[in-house]
Amino acid sequence: MQQPRPRAKTLPRRAPVAVHLAADRPQGALQPLPGLDYGVLEQLMGYALRRAQNALYLHFQQTLGRDAEVSPQRFAALVLVARNPGLRQGVLAEAMGVHRSGGLRLVDWLDAQGWVRREDDPLDGRSWTLHPTRAGREALQRLSAAVQAHDAALVHALGPEGAALKPLLERLAGTAA
């Protein structure tokens, strides 16, 4: 006679913890280190864009100061929800270019801040619609001013060529389509 298999052990449930993806948050300016051979990286536009993205992220965090938990991605998600009340959670993920699970994490964070609330989708019981709260609209107003100042400082830092960069980046982004 065969013995019954022991039940798998389960870990005790813990309260949800805010997820911070360290790999997504730059820790430094990603400046070239003297004496280090970067090989082909020095020639690649993609690597230069990655370094620029790192610098932009760090400047964004410095500009937001007390709101440093707000990443560019979280800000963009808040903008999209506030500008599109009733947006489906899956559509937000698609608009953000992230997997559905990434969209879920974004909405979880926005919800934990009290900036967004979920409602059942009246057209699809398996989906949620997203709605900004009053606190979310107020936060967006405050954050937008800081983010626009951040953006203006970056364009100014590039000098006369600054205004030409955005259309070029938009064209580059279109090549992935």
Given pLDDT bands bounded at 50, 70 and 90, which one contains residue 67? confident
Query: Is 5 a residue whose pLDDT tops 60?
Result: no
For range 125-138, the mean pLDDT: 94
Task: Look at residue 16 and tell me whether its pLDDT is greater than 70.
Answer: no
Q: Say if residue 11's pLDDT is above 80.
A: no
**pTM above threshold 0.85:** no
- Assess contact for 151 and 79: CB atoms under 8 A: no
Give the Å distances, CA to CA, from 62 to 12, 32, 59, 98, 110: 38, 21, 5, 25, 20
CA angle at 136 for the pair 132 and 141, rounded to the nearest 5°? 120
Q: Per-residue pLDDT averaged across 153-175, rounded?
A: 90
Domains annotated for the chain, with CATH where assigned, are 69-156 (1.10.10.10)
